[in-house]
Amino acid sequence: MTKTINKLSIQHLFTPPPGLPNVASSLGHHTQDITEALEIRITKNNNFMSFAEYMQFCLYHSQLGYYSGGLHKFGPDGDFTTAPEISPLFGECIAKAIAPLLLNHPEWSICELGPGRGALAESIIKHLARLNALPQSYQLLEVSASLSDLQQTRLKPLNKLVEIKHLQQAPENFKGIILGNEVIDALVVERFYVNDECELFQIGVSIQNEKLVEVAQAAPAYLVEAIQNLDIDIPKNFRSEICCQLKPWLQNITQGCKEAILLFSDYGFSQREYYSPERNDGTLRCHYRQHAHNNALILPAIQDITAWVDFTALGNAALELGMEIPAYSTQAHVLLGSGHLQDIDFEAMNEVQRFQTSKAIQTLTLPANMGERFRFMQLNKNCDELIPAMQLRDLRHQL
């Protein structure tokens, strides 16, 4: 039976197309609340919501958003699996890579942005303890209250190793290393379209015949300016994304930093690759129960929405904020460059452990898996330290 709240059909929004698992019936009230709130927002604004506002609503609505709610997001039973969730080896490699810097600067802390379920924090703290290179404190900055609760529970036993702080806002008077794995791809993006006459449109959503549909309107001035500020010309007949929040977000994170190294890892590439003519439908991906697809207009606030990271834009934002870019490389090279994978004692493992470890290394490093598609960028503020593992392959010329 089609249930309709005034104009927007719940059934249309929450019945996934064939091939995707159904939404649990226990989420009935939740889907109704989401539909009502979405409809009010869109109709209040002349039946138009920019894609950025829609993504903000879906992911970060204060009560209903994907990241605000307690849905099971991570791991095999959730929607997606990140590198630290695949294996503690990922965090151990990062720990090994940054240990020399922490030994040089005993007064430094680590601040992790968007720590998810705390898997990266756990593996880094445990491995830094083995290396006798623990920082002053390990700080976690999270926007999701439910994930912050999970992080606190998981990391409590590690408080005996290092002071763990759960932050509500960017760190102040900070000296140390800021980490962010798959956080920038969770920032809200605008979607745009350039037609064959080079006219620029802002993509958004609207309600028509009880359905959420994609619509386009003349781009507002801020979006025109953001596209004009790119280092390259956008091809004709081209749809893509741009993260207008990137620079203000980076500024907010770093304004309280006295001396910092920032290390970001994420899906992404340079601007030339991001806006290359063959990628004419953008990089937007939705993740739902381990299925990836690109229809963001279904399952609002029930599925994850991400866009790949434009690392040229990240680098440019950092330069404009007075920072430097000492390194940009692939995940495979950084993990291998840390030297940790080469130290693994396979002889001491049983067959199952050997198999699981080899499989994790393959997933994390093979080019067809995460090895090439995931990039690492180091940014320095008031600091000239290098991370040796980041130097194994320098891809800054691609930016």
Binding site for ligand SAM (CB under 6 A): 67, 82, 84-85, 113-116, 119-120, 141-144, 147, 181-183, 186
Instruction: Please name the residue that has the structure tokens 């290359």.
Output: 276
The three-class DSSP label of residue 272 is: helix
Distance CA 358, CA 352 (A): 10
Distance CA 137, CA 165 (A): 7
User: 269 with 375: CB under 8 angstroms?
Assistant: yes
The three-class DSSP label of residue 11 is: helix
- Min dist CB 231 to ligand SAM, Å, is 25
Q: Which is nearer to ligand SAM, 120 or 223 (CB)?
A: 120
- The angle formed by the CA atoms of residues 162, 166 and 167, to the nearest 5 degrees, is 130
Q: Which is nearer to ligand SAM, 219 or 296 (CB)?
A: 296
Residue type, 187: L
Query: Comparing C-alpha atoms, which of 7, 17, 1, 45 is closest to residue 295?
Result: 17
Q: 132 forms bridges with which residues in the sheet?
A: none
- Min dist CB 80 to ligand SAM, Å, is 7
Q: Which is nearer to ligand SAM, 9 or 144 (CB)?
A: 144
- Min dist CB 359 to ligand SAM, Å, is 18
- Min dist CB 73 to ligand SAM, Å, is 7
Q: Which is nearer to ligand SAM, 54 or 275 (CB)?
A: 54
Tokens of 136: 């002053």
- Min dist CB 283 to ligand SAM, Å, is 15
Q: Which is nearer to ligand SAM, 50 or 139 (CB)?
A: 139
Q: Which is nearer to ligand SAM, 6 or 294 (CB)?
A: 294
Distance CA 333, CA 242 (A): 27
Q: Which residues of 54-89 are buried (b: 16+ CB within 10 A; e: fewer)?
A: bbbbbbbbeebbbbbbebebbbeebbbebbbbbbbb
The three-class DSSP label of residue 97 is: helix
Q: 203 forms bridges with which residues in the sheet?
A: 216
User: 201 with 195: CB under 8 angstroms?
Assistant: yes
Q: Which is nearer to ligand SAM, 183 or 219 (CB)?
A: 183
Q: Which is nearer to ligand SAM, 13 or 121 (CB)?
A: 121
Q: Which is nearer to ligand SAM, 234 or 314 (CB)?
A: 314
Distance CA 57, CA 109 (A): 33
- Min dist CB 261 to ligand SAM, Å, is 17
- Min dist CB 269 to ligand SAM, Å, is 18
Rg (CA), the chain: 22
User: 303 with 309: CB under 8 angstroms?
Assistant: no
Q: Which is nearer to ligand SAM, 143 or 215 (CB)?
A: 143
- Min dist CB 182 to ligand SAM, Å, is 4
Q: Which residue is nearest to ligand SAM (CB)?
A: 114
Tokens of 271: 């601007």
- The angle formed by the CA atoms of residues 41, 43 and 44, to the nearest 5 degrees, is 65
- Min dist CB 203 to ligand SAM, Å, is 21
- Min dist CB 188 to ligand SAM, Å, is 9
User: 275 with 232: CB under 8 angstroms?
Assistant: yes
